[in-house]
Amino acid sequence: MSILKHLDKNNLHHAYLIEGKREQVVSELVEFLKESGINTVGSSDFININVDCFKIDDARNLKSYGAQKSFSTEKKIFIISINSFLLEAQNSLLKMFEEPIENTHFFLILPDASSLLKTFISRFYFISTKQDQSDERAQALKFIAMPIKNRIDFIKELLAESEEEDSEGNEIVALDSTRAKALKFLNALELTLHNKISKGISDFSYFDHIFKVREFLRMPGSSAKSLMESVALIVPSF
């Protein structure tokens, strides 16, 4: 799904939150900015940030950069591509994203916005490019039918750091972090379990555990593997 229908060069929102694949979104966004007359090459007013996990120090730096005036008459543009966003960093930026800075525009890109605070999301113009989650839901259905041992093996495979090759054959780590993949699967699993409840299952206790796991996955230093294995142990088989 293209983001272009949401963007108006004559009336840009001060902050966009875009849910989708970094490569696709950034490519479309840079092309849009160029066509809008905004310099994206060698300009100090175009800042492209790409980190796996956005932490409190990143938030402090962003506030500092955001407060600086543009070096030209053009707009100041921030593209921020991340996999996960720590809670303390989100809270630190609430005020900045709530109060627009003149001629400054932020484009925050991440694979799954469900891990963000609702108060944080509310500061943005939200765009989702995600496709149908039928693959994740199919995986979740298989997962809840598995015996414990198979579930543990599934988690290990799900969170394995996948590697790809660049155009020269060099190995590179894929952009999706284990934390992002864990959150994505957890969301599909929770939806699948809710559908099972509607069909007569009445035990809700494991939803509390899923909620806690989701919170811990957002915290620095937590083990995505251990947390997801705990989900494998507590979720009933259907």
Entry pTM: 0.64
Say whether both 14 and 60 belong to one domain: yes
> Residue 193: is it exposed, middle or buried by C-beta count within 10 angstroms (0-12/13-18/19+)?
buried
What is the rounded average pLDDT of the residues 72-81?
A: 85
pLDDT at 189 over 90: no
CATH number at residue 101: 3.40.50.300
For residue 39, what are its two tokens? 């310099």
Say whether both 53 and 89 belong to one domain: yes
Domain boundary among 77, 100, 128: 128
The band of 203, judged by pLDDT with boundaries at 50, 70 and 90, is low
* Structural domain for 69, as ranges: 4-128
Domain boundary among 100, 128, 156: 128
Distance, in Å, from the CA atom of 47 to the CA atom of 200, rounded to the nearest integer, reads: 52
Domain boundary among 128, 146, 171: 128
pLDDT tens, position by position, 13-49: 999 999 988 888 999 999 999 998 888 888 888 999 9
Say whether both 56 and 162 belong to one domain: no
Say whether both 138 and 118 belong to one domain: no
Count: domains in the chain: 2
pLDDT score, position 165: 41
pLDDT score, position 21: 85
The DSSP element (H or E) to which 71 belongs, if any, is: none
